[in-house]
Homo-oligomer: A and B are copies of this chain.
Amino acid sequence: MTSQSTINCIITGAGGFVGQALASALLEDPLVSKLTLTDVVEPSSPNRKGQSKVEVRCVKADLTSLETCQTLFTPDLNLIYILHGIMSGQAEANFELGLKVNLDSTRQILDLLRRTNPGVKVIYPSSTAVYGPPATPTTKITEGDTPVPGTSYGAQKHICETLLDDYSRRGFLDGRSLRLPTVTVRPGKPTGAASSFASGIFREPLNGEKAILPVSKDLEVWICSPRTVVKNLILARDIPKEKFPNTRIVNLPGITVTVNEMLEALKAVGGDEALKRVEEQRDEATEKIVLSWPTRFDVSRAKQLGFADDGPLERTLQEYLEDYGAKKQ
């Protein structure tokens, strides 16, 4: 076993919820020997469930600083997860900050890596926010459809995908850009993402608190559970690069649901009591961003590459209660 433990991995944005869930999973992975977790606030080291012997290091770091990146991205790393970023709503409200973090700091890391760790595997979660609204709402989007981002967040993500694709084509890095659906149910507090409500309307009511619904109940969203996303982030590492002939970009699996269907699932799991805690309070800015994202995808490419399917929604809610429910928080 020890001789196989050769993965020395870093996760940026590791204080975030996806970062923490990914770190938890990697701690149990016999292939992993070292794990560096970094974020603007020192991230916690997830609890170890089993006999994990992974060496974990948690580092507070500002990745917009070149010096900091030079210290962190050492040549012994062989697996990079770039999870840090300013989320969609905040990047729209604070353009300069989004540009600096989502574009410049990612670019800086890619440029550093291609010099110090040539050919290193870089897994970059992108977002379906790279797409603008589809021509017709029922169109199923594939990787063959042009991203016309309706937000700065989407534009910044698409630029990084394009860079990572070119660096991978040239053999500078071995990138994989995974366009994540909206991840729900996230634990913790609301985030700067315009899609934050998609977790809030489950999480708060299930925790006995009120939740604000800022969009129409007829609105559709394209979502994925945390467990499926983490599974796919790890699968991405193990798919041979030869399977990505022209581009490293993949739209990950998810499910399309209306807000009404989300509320029905909430009721099924949490009862009428939970449902009553959701209060409608439309917010135009949020709705405008969410409406700019397509919600129906044909994920044949992801399936062909071996990525895992998601759903159903009620199972996701049960998983949320298992992983993050009242007892766990």
Contacts and interface: CB of A to CB of B under 8 A. Distances in A.
B143 A146 contact: yes
Interface stretch (A157-165, A179-187, A253-261): A157-165
A9 interface: no
A152 interface: yes
A165 to B, nearest CB: 7
Interface string A166-181: 1001100000000000
Nearest to A147: B146
B148 A246 contact: yes
Contacts of A156: 166
Number of copies: 2
A145 B145 CA distance: 6
Given A158-B162, A159-B159, A159-B162, A146 B146 contact: yes
Nearest to A143: B146
A149 interface: yes
B148 A146 contact: no
Contact of A170 (B152, B165, B170): B152
Contacts of A95: 170
A132 interface: yes
Contacts of A147: 146
Nearest to A249: B148
Interface residues on A, range: 20 to 34
A247 interface: yes
Contacts of A132: 246-247
Interface string A128-160: 000011010000000111111110100110110
A288 to B, nearest CB: 12
Nearest to A96: B111
Given A95-B170, A132-B246, A246-B132, A155 B144 contact: no
Given A133-B246, A135-B144, A159-B163, 16 more contacts: A95-B170, A143-B146, A145-B146, A146-B146, A146-B147, A148-B247, A149-B162, A150-B246, A152-B170, A155-B162, A155-B163, A155-B165, A155-B166, A158-B162, A159-B162, A162-B162
30 contacts: A95-B170, A132-B246, A132-B247, A133-B246, A135-B144, A143-B146, A144-B145, A144-B146, A145-B146, A146-B146, A146-B147, A148-B165, A148-B246, A148-B247, A149-B162, A149-B165, A149-B166, A150-B169, A150-B246, A152-B166, A152-B170, A155-B162, A155-B163, A155-B165, A155-B166, A156-B166, A158-B162, A159-B159, A159-B162, A159-B163
